[in-house]
Amino acid sequence: MKGIFRGFRLKLKRGKKPEERMEEVVEEKEAPRLTMRTRTFLSGRGHLLASYPLYEPWAYAFIVEDPKTGKIVYNVEEVSMNETELKTYKEVIDYITWELEPPEEITDAREYLIKYARKAIRLFQIKLGRTPGLSWAKISYYVERDLLGYGPLDPIFRDPNIEDISCNGVGIPVYVWHRKFESLPTNIVFRTEKELDEYILKLAHMAGKHISVAYPILDAILPGGHRVAATFQKEVSTKGSTFTIRKFRADPITIIDLIDYRTISPEIAAYFWLAMDYKMTTLILGVTGAGKTSTLNAMANLLRPTYKIVTIEDTPELRLPQENWVQLVSRPSYLATGGIGEITLFHLVKVSLRYRPDVIIVGEVRGEEAYVLFQAIATGHSGMTTLHAESIDAAVKRLTSPPMNIPPSYIPLINVAMVIKRVVRTDETGRPRPARRITNIWEIEDYEKYKEIARWDPIRDTFSLKLSDSIVLKKISELTGKPLENLIEEIARRKAILEWLAANRIRSYREVATYVQKYYVNPRAVLKEIGVGEI
């Protein structure tokens, strides 16, 4: 075996039954070296920017730059199968495909398939005995990758640096959005229409949904929480099937991460924490992939645990620690039913009112559901939502035009609006790096009367916030009778907590939730813990 994976050998313990041996497969790991392909690429025209394992010892990522064109490519390098292994792999896959018996009782289908695949491999091991040059572990990797995983894209799904994976058609490289290098072509290409169509059918099956010529659009959630949108054949996309996947983060972005990434300042985060506590309605604006949903999620995590929260989404992306949370998700209809059975965001916002929510969170408003949401806010519920727009003016224009048709008199029901943007910063080495910043925050006084209360300075990379002018704080003060100074002090306390959590790297979803909850129950204890007396 050649290349980076030379030296991997299957070590089977002697004197045991083959199935027992299989469990004890040990692979010799080796630091990733460059395969011939990457080496040739490099020797001719490129240099390596980054390399790291995706799934040791099977798959690695090599990010390579061509100095002449400046083109950066994301190369997935996997252990390659020799001819004998490839032949055996195909036989195993055929065997599983044809011989798979339905389970006696319906349990976890994935678990069942894993067990069955293992059994099939063991059978083949017994049948073939010790075959020189054949790695069963390698075959197992490919069987698992293709039957249970995401096939050729499986290594990319394992890369935490990748945010999006998209394919625009046959013969075009699959593109990824890398946290450090932004949009990159990969060395993975679907060569034929059949190959791509089959892959999309596989994605639809994995999501438990349907895609076909009759219903050529898919919008679904894959196992593991990844959001997929796809089109099938040439029905609605002229170049043939396409798909795009927004990868799910197993570890959600928290408010502390946003502070750490400098997307938001601790003071602005504390201001929102207080505003949401007093049920101020918040609107998060931004373009596709700007980070609207992540910001919404991070902020909603700060809501009082006693609040009844109802979230309404097309695809379930939000994750809240609060127990008093109902997650509603819309449902498409299939053409065959003539549109019957469809449950839209509109229906869900309407039904959500029956739950007597304190806060209604709509993942993204686009259509007639916006009107019901505004009616709900008008009757005393708090609302949080996101909208595709780059500024408050553009957002209001969208809200007041079809299909949302919000009357201008409803616009002041929004208390605060913020916009999140993808910006470019230079790192210590002078290289441009993508970043996200909440660039402007407005408080809504009236229709076409917006007060910019906070703003990001792109030169100094700092935020300014003018609390003394805040309409929101004045409103809270009127509602509660608390003087403005007390509210500003409360923001200072919450800011101190957020800064302390960030400084101590207490950032995970659970940890942040614990502190937020503790603060609501016993603020003095938390302030004592972080070493802050009375502010």
Ligand X SMILES: Nc1ncnc2c1ncn2[C@@H]1O[C@H](COP(=O)(O)OP(=O)(O)OP(=O)(O)O)[C@@H](O)[C@H]1O
* Residue nearest Mg ion (C-beta atom): 293
315 binds Mg ion (CB under 5 A): no
| Residue 78 site contact among ligand X, Mg ion, none (CB < 5 to 8 Å, cut-off depends on kind) | none
Task: Name the phi and psi angles at 149, rounded to 5.
Answer: -95, -160
57 or 291: CB nearest ligand X: 291
DSSP codes, 353-414: GGG--SEEEES---STHHHHHHHHHHTT-EEEEEEEBSSHHHHHHHHHSTTT---GGGGGG-
228 or 396: CB nearest ligand X: 228
Q: How far is the CB of 231 from ligand X (least distance, A)?
A: 16
Length of the chain: 535
286 binds ligand X (CB under 6 A): yes
Q: What angle do CA 272, 277, 280 make, to 5 degrees?
A: 70
Q: How far is the CB of 357 from ligand X (least distance, A)?
A: 22
Q: How far is the CB of 247 from Mg ion (least distance, A)?
A: 13
Binders of ligand X among residues 242 to 281 (CB under 6 A) are 246, 249, 253, 258, 261, 263
Q: Strand locations in 56-117, DSSP E? A: 59-65, 72-78
293 binds Mg ion (CB under 5 A): yes
Q: CA dihedral in degrees (294, 300, 305, 311; nearest 10)?
A: -90
DSSP codes, 10-37: -BPPTTS-HHHHHHT-B---------HH
**Judged by CB under 6 A, which of 38, 265, 281, 294 binds ligand X?**
294
> Rounded to a whole number, what is the distance in angstroms from the first to the last CA of the chain?
67
Site string for Mg ion, 263-292 (x = CB under 5 A): -----------------------------x
**Judged by CB under 6 A, which of 292, 381, 421, 493 binds ligand X?**
292
| Helix and strand totals (H; E) in the chain | 17, 18
179 or 528: CB nearest ligand X: 179
- d(CA 366, CA 219) in angstroms, rounded, equals 16
Sheet of strand 217-221: strand arrangement:
47-55, 59-65, 72-78, 182-189, 173-178, 162-167, 242-246, 227-231, 217-221
293 or 311: CB nearest Mg ion: 293
290 binds ligand X (CB under 6 A): yes
253 or 349: CB nearest ligand X: 253
Q: How far is the CB of 510 from ligand X (least distance, A)?
A: 18
Q: CA dihedral in degrees (20, 22, 26, 27; nearest 10)?
A: 180
Site string for ligand X, 386-425 (x = CB under 6 A): ----------------------------------------
| Residue 294 site contact among ligand X, Mg ion, none (CB < 5 to 8 Å, cut-off depends on kind) | ligand X
Residues that bind ligand X (CB under 6 A): 163, 246, 249, 253, 258, 261, 263, 286, 288-294, 436
Residues that bind Mg ion (CB under 5 A): 292-293
